[in-house]
A and B are shown apart, each in its own frame.
Chain A
Amino acid sequence: MFILTIILKYILTNLKEHKLRTSVMLLSILLSTILLFVSLSIGASYESAQKKMARGMTGSATISVTTKDSATGISLDDIPDLPEIGVKVGIITGSAIYHKEGYYESMDLIAAEIKALNQINKLRLVNGEEITDFSGNQVILPDRFTSKFSIEKGDLITLQVKGMPVTFEVGEIAAYDTIFLRQTRGTTALFPLDTLRKLVSQTDGYNEILIEPAKGVTTAELKNALQNNMPNHIYDISEIVNEAQIAADARQKSMPFFLISFFALTISVFIIYSSYKVVTLDRLPIIGTFRSIGATEKEVTKVFLFESLIYGLLGGLFGIPIGMLILKFILRGIGKTLSNGIEIPVIISPLSIILPFAVAMVVSISSSWLPIRRASRLPIKDIVLGRVDEKHVSNKATILIGIVLFIISIILPRIAPKSMLYPAGGFSLLGLITAAILNIPLITNLISSGMERLYEVIFKGEGKLSARNIRDNKNVTQNIALLFISLSAVIVISVVGNFVTTYIIDVFHGAELDGLANGDMDQSFVEKVRNMDGIKKILPIYIMENSVQANRNNLIRLEATDNLDWYSSMFALNYSNGLLEQAFYEFHHERNILLSENCMDRTGISVNDIISLSYNGMEYRYRVIGSFKSRATDAEAVIPSYYATQDFGMQTYKLLAYTAVDPEAIIIQIRDLFGETPNWSRTVKEFTTDALATVEAFLQPMHSMTWLILLLATVGVINNLLINYIQKRRSIAMYKSVGLSNRQNIQITLLEGFSSGLIGAVIAVFVSYLEIQTIFLVAGPKITMVPELKHSTFILAGIAGIVINLIGSVAPILKSHQMKLVEEIKFE
């Protein structure tokens, strides 16, 4: 017991004396806990926000009931009282057009009992107040719309309803959130129930009833219950959204955060472990002394474990509250835009608290336990005499395992069945990192052997030595491993982050398109546009919405073009299943049709089928020559223009896509050309800017998190370099004793820093490339966009790694200048 007290006292003084090292270690535990907590929480919050966005207006309602005969309304009493039903809300819908300065904005008008509506989707006003006294000719509009057209609360606006102008007063402005969220373009406007009833002449009942399942009831159960209790020939009962699809999409979009968590975890494990290893090594003489004066192995271990327990507890106890503050701060960072953007619900799940805490504790304790156990196996005499240098393991087995793991990690996500893709991807990510770490000694040795020759020629003996020093050197290996993990974290997160940003914002990504005009256009209109100055390509398109059936399935949107080549490039069609060159050529000569992959899934039609397109009681046989995915068009099917006019009597174009030298100038002329005809005409740039404004706040957390992980990486690298110096101090002294001058020391240290930085960077670039491949293999099947790998990301990260290492070499250089040679050599 006495000895325990002595050791404890020793540790306390040690903490006091090695303030820097202790604080770096505590900081890394703390940061890891924080980062893990914040990224898990934001990931969850973000995922739920994505789900919310995907659900849009319907909120927590999942079933929609309408009458088959759209002329008759449906009343709330038509829905039987079933225990599966939670809330039911009657909705009146209508449509209108808003026109201002050449812009035409289509509007979906909705009305419902506000109280009921709030239960499934709570309305949020910009001024933070509750709605009172909402009646008469009032309307509530989302700020996304009002800010675009500079409309204030109390203003009057005129809408074209069924071709008639009606004027309303803007009663309130709401956040672009909850019921106003939408996936399609246009705007949702909320009206008082009675007002909209009159406007769309729906005097009794509703157009649609939205139902939220009771607690614990699934959507499928609810749907079943309703179908069993309501006459199916009168009512249409449908699921509003595809829950599974929404969940998958949301997970995909919050992927960067989970990646951040993943890397935060790996980096923390590494930093904490290596810190402890060195601290123990540094304390070996003391351990030996204690042992030699009679402390048992158990007692020594207990004290050290106790110490790490305290670190872990501190990390966990402070990390999570600080994490909550940071979480609030990051989500508040959206503060300014919070009122007019999408509110991100803060979700703190038990997992996001328990996991970081557990990690802090488990990693701290096991990291300290391993080196101590190793130390306790050493003969006391060796410890006391300070004759313990680290064993260097160039175990063939380790290398073999590393290589096998590497190969498996590359292959697995490529051959895994669809259902196993996520686990395979996870394994592959972890496997790639582990394999790299296992093989770093081998790779480093190989590269340094090459460098040794090269450097000898360029830098003489100092060069040879610095290259040689990297070889068989555990400190260097460890440094490279940490640098590699940090750099690849930064690379992977920024690539995936950028990808997700582009993916969310830029639906026209990869589309060779400058602008779109939506409205009724005849041939002469098209010719006028074709003759405008600076026009490059112009593509008029016929559109048939909900009027043609393919094998009895309603086609939501059928488009027709006379130039499939341009159509493909302008809307970035992705023929994932391949499309023969010949098909392009033949397309226009026969009744051919291309279907979107979603449409094929929905209808069960496959490529090469002959299908029937029915329209107005007539049927035509078309051959399916291919399938496509596209984010730039909602078209479910594409046919040749010629047959659209022949079979379906198309005469008026609905859509005009163009590319031009000055897209802005063209769109202004097009709006002019439309005159009073309603149209929706935008340049792609304008469209993307609008989209960005909405989701910018949403993406902010991702950027903050990337910075945080960089911070953690930096702390890790500094920690490591510090450790490195502690371990190198003695060997620098040895070098000096045989005649190493300060100048030579600077040269060797810098070269060493540069070389190990270079090796770390090269491995990081290589492995993160593979990791990105894995990530997109896993996420890929559902994504229609190819990730863009900018060389600059990789090169910059590599340079950053080298620079970090060079900067890190400065401290050892300065310190060894002041080194008391004799004192380092004499072993205290």
Chain B
Amino acid sequence: MKTLNSQVAIEGKNIVKYFPSGETNTKVLQGISLKIMQGEFISIMGPSGSGKSTLLYILSGLDSPTSGSVYINGTDISHFQDEKMSRMRRQQVGFVFQFYNLIPNLNVEENIMLPLLLDGKKIRDYRKQLDHILQMVGLLNRRKHTPRQLSGGQQQRVAIARALITNPQILFADEPTGNLDSKTGLEIINLLKTINHEYGQTIIMVTHSPEAAKSSNRIIIIQDGLIIDNESGASYLQSSNIYSPPMSSGMFYGHEQHQA
């Protein structure tokens, strides 16, 4: 088990996001600030439409904020031009989507290697790394399959492998289990947990599942575009009355918990 070091992995400062809709603007994020340390496994929760995905896209550089800034490793990425932003995306972050978003005509291996290829890396230098990751996600014997030959859970594992192949600073996941049955979902969460646990991989995950959130070491609750709980999420989980077992997220990694 790795211990958390106290370096900031990513920091959001007063992030605001408007979407123009007709005459008026929809204020989706109303000034969000947060700091996430390296090695943390964060769950972001909140009601539907509260701005969770929007926040994740902005943090990962897939979208840009209307105002405010995002620092990854101390660098403000919110004003990056396409070329820099693309490089940041393939080197510093990994993203796992609810619907996997694999390239259908590429096989498992090729999908995983994609970010390296785009980064101008020689594939053959990364054979070992690939094997290692394939083993980790349990797809060693599926490497030549195309996405449509895989189950949902397997596809999501490929997506995770692809997000990890570049050794990113942060792994983002937007409802990675949202499209899976609860058993498969749990397997994916366990995989993320292992990755976080054994390799100290920083993970920021949006989820609706208390079960999944339980595995992280901090829960951030968002409502109406604002962070209402930055700590444990206990109040949210209780008030929404969807969470029956006692809150235990702090128990696992209690000693590692970090105050933002």
Contacts and interface: CB of A to CB of B under 8 A. Distances in A.
Interface residues of A, number: 33
A827 B95 contact: no
Interface in B111-158: 114-121, 146, 148
Contact of A389 (B82, B110, B121, B148): B148
A741 B62 contact: no
Given A822-B57, A825-B62, A737 B118 contact: no
Contact of B83 (A461, A734, A736, A743): A743
A468 interface: yes
A779 interface: no
Contacts of A465: 114, 117-118
A458 interface: no
B118 A825 contact: no
Contact of A739 (B89, B97, B105): B89
Given A461-B119, A822-B62, A392 B105 contact: yes
A460 interface: yes
Interface in B49-102: 53, 57, 62-63, 82-83, 85-91, 95, 97, 99, 101-102
Interface in A452-482: 460-462, 464-465, 468-469, 471-473
Given A391-B148, A822-B62, A471 B82 contact: no
Of listed A389, A461, A462, residue having the most chain B CB within 10 A: A461
A739 B119 contact: yes
- Interface SS of chain A: helix
Given A461-B120, A461-B121, A472-B105, A735 B63 contact: no
A245 interface: no
B193 interface: no
Contacts of A391: 148
B103 interface: yes
A13 interface: no
A825 B97 contact: yes
Sorted from nearest, which 4 A-B pairs have the closest CB atoms?
A: A739-B90, A741-B86, A461-B117, A739-B89
Interface of B: 53, 57, 62-63, 82-83, 85-91, 95, 97, 99, 101-106, 110, 114-121, 146, 148, 162, 179
Given A461-B118, A468-B110, A740 B86 contact: yes
A744 interface: yes
A738 B115 contact: yes
Contacts of B53: 826
A771 to B, nearest CB: 31
B105 A738 contact: no
Contacts of A162: none
Contact of B118 (A744, A821, A822): A744
Nearest to A465: B117
A250 B53 CA distance: 71
Given A738-B95, A741-B83, A473 B148 contact: no
Contact of B101 (A460, A462, A468, A734): A734
A387 interface: yes
Given A461-B117, A827-B99, A737 B89 contact: yes
B110 to A, nearest CB: 7
Given A737-B95, A743-B83, A468 B119 contact: no
6 contacts: A460-B120, A737-B97, A739-B90, A739-B115, A744-B118, A825-B62
B118 A731 contact: no
A461 to B, nearest CB: 4
A824 to B, nearest CB: 10
A72 interface: no
Contacts of B86: 736, 739-742, 744
Contacts, number: 84
A693 interface: no
A385 interface: yes
Given A389-B148, A825-B97, A742 B117 contact: no
A54 to B, nearest CB: 57
Nearest to B165: A738
B82 A738 contact: no
Interface in A789-827: 821-822, 825-827
Interface of A: 385-387, 389, 391-392, 460-462, 464-465, 468-469, 471-473, 731, 734-744, 821-822, 825-827
A465 B117 CA distance: 8
Contact of A464 (B83, B115, B117, B119): B117
A734 B162 CA distance: 12
Of listed A391, A473, A738, A826, residue having the most chain B CB within 10 A: A738
B208 to A, nearest CB: 16
Contact of B87 (A461, A471, A739): A739
A737 B99 contact: no
Given A741-B87, A822-B63, 11 more contacts: A389-B104, A392-B146, A460-B120, A461-B117, A465-B114, A734-B101, A734-B103, A738-B162, A739-B88, A742-B82, A743-B82
B254 to A, nearest CB: 35
A723 to B, nearest CB: 16
A821 B62 contact: yes
Contacts of A469: 105
A736 B97 CA distance: 13
A391 B147 CA distance: 11
A135 B110 CA distance: 92
B71 to A, nearest CB: 19
A648 B62 CA distance: 99
Contacts of B110: 468
Contact of A741 (B82, B114, B162): B82
Contacts of B179: 385
Nearest to B63: A822
A460 B89 CA distance: 19
Nearest to B179: A385
B103 A731 contact: yes
A728 to B, nearest CB: 11
B148 A740 contact: no
B97 to A, nearest CB: 6
B21 to A, nearest CB: 13
Contacts of B102: 734
Nearest to B94: A738
B95 A468 contact: no
A572 to B, nearest CB: 55
A738 B118 contact: yes
A401 to B, nearest CB: 23
Nearest to A461: B117
Given A461-B118, A743-B83, A737 B101 contact: yes
A737 B162 CA distance: 11
A468 B97 contact: no
A473 B97 CA distance: 23
Contacts of A739: 86-91, 115, 118-119
B100 to A, nearest CB: 9
A478 to B, nearest CB: 13
B111 to A, nearest CB: 9
A821 B119 CA distance: 19
Contacts of B118: 461-462, 465, 735, 738-741, 744
